[in-house]
Structure 1
Amino acid sequence: MVFDSNFFQRESETTLKNTLVEYLQKQHPETLERVAQSATPEVREIITHNVQGLLGVLPSDGFNVQIVTDRQYLANLLASAMMTGYFLCQMEKRKDLEDSISNTDSL
């Protein structure tokens, strides 16, 4: 999973002020890459299915699929995927913690 740190630097002046976008612009590319790489395969799979559901999925062998959108909608899609990822990572940590606690009860 790779994050293009230059994505938000190409925003137009008509884009609404977004504090998350501003925060991401201030981050070092290495930090963004490290966060993107920390997602487990399970989280990546859920995010992939979520984005595919939002965009619609047609088999590439039978269709020439092309998606056209503007920068704001694409930024919203990226923000949605990021928030889904953060939520899933936190839930995954919570599950692991609950599993650990349940294993200590039997000791």
Structure 2
Amino acid sequence: MNNQSNRVSEFFDSDSEGSNVLWQYVQSMSPETIAQLSKPSSSEVFQVMERNIVGLLGNLPPEHFGVTVTTNRENLGRLLASAMISGYFLHNAEQRMAFEKSLQSASDSPRL
């Protein structure tokens, strides 16, 4: 577990060798690429991501509670990494579902 912690923190720890590699990569992207990557391709993916993050942070209704979340740099980095991995997984699952639907519709269509 500690080894995994070291791997995650190397992206977010400014004192590590090759510091801020992920941040440098994100900064090198064009604004159009970042905008495209920041938007889920479907409302279903957006809803799943929203539920995931709300589940990680807690779910108190904002109209009744003034919620403030505080954390340290390492835990924020872990939250970011978790959200990125979840988004990547959901994007791949969505692509696979679309591929399977297209294969199913192709096999259901009459052949000439």
TM range (shorter): 0.7 to 0.9
Once the two structures are superposed, residues 74-103 of structure 1 have per-residue CA deviations (whole angstroms, 9 ceiling, x without a partner) of 222122112211111111111111111111
Distance across 2 between alignment mates of 1:97 and 1:35: 20
- Structure 2 residue 58 is the aligned partner of structure 1 residue 33: no
Partner of 1:67: 69
2:62 aligned partner, one-letter code:
S
Larger-gyration structure (1/2): 2
Over the residues paired in the alignment, what is the CA RMSD in angstroms? 2.3
Residues 104 and 26 of structure 1: is their aligned pair in 2 closer, same or farther, counting only changes over 3 Å?
same
2:82 aligned partner, one-letter code:
S
Which consecutive residues of structure 1, in runs of 5 or more, have no partner in the other structure? 1-10
TM-score, structure 2 normalization = 0.72
Partner of 2:47: 45
Distance across 2 between alignment mates of 1:39 and 1:70: 31
User: Is the CA contact (8 Å cut-off) linking 1:15 and 1:72 kept in structure 2?
Assistant: no
Which range moves more in the overlay, 91-100 or 35-44?
A: 35-44
User: Is the CA contact (8 Å cut-off) linking 1:47 and 1:85 kept in structure 2?
Assistant: yes
Once the two structures are superposed, residues 50-85 of structure 1 have per-residue CA deviations (whole angstroms, 9 ceiling, x without a partner) of 000000111123222111112332222122112211
Distance across 1 between alignment mates of 2:59 and 2:105: 41
User: Is the CA contact (8 Å cut-off) linking 2:45 and 2:91 kept in structure 1?
Assistant: yes
Q: Sequence identity, in percent?
A: 36
Distance across 1 between alignment mates of 2:98 and 2:65: 41
Distance across 1 between alignment mates of 2:43 and 2:27: 26
Partner of 1:13: 14
Residues 61 and 40 of structure 1: is their aligned pair in 2 closer, same or farther, counting only changes over 3 Å?
same
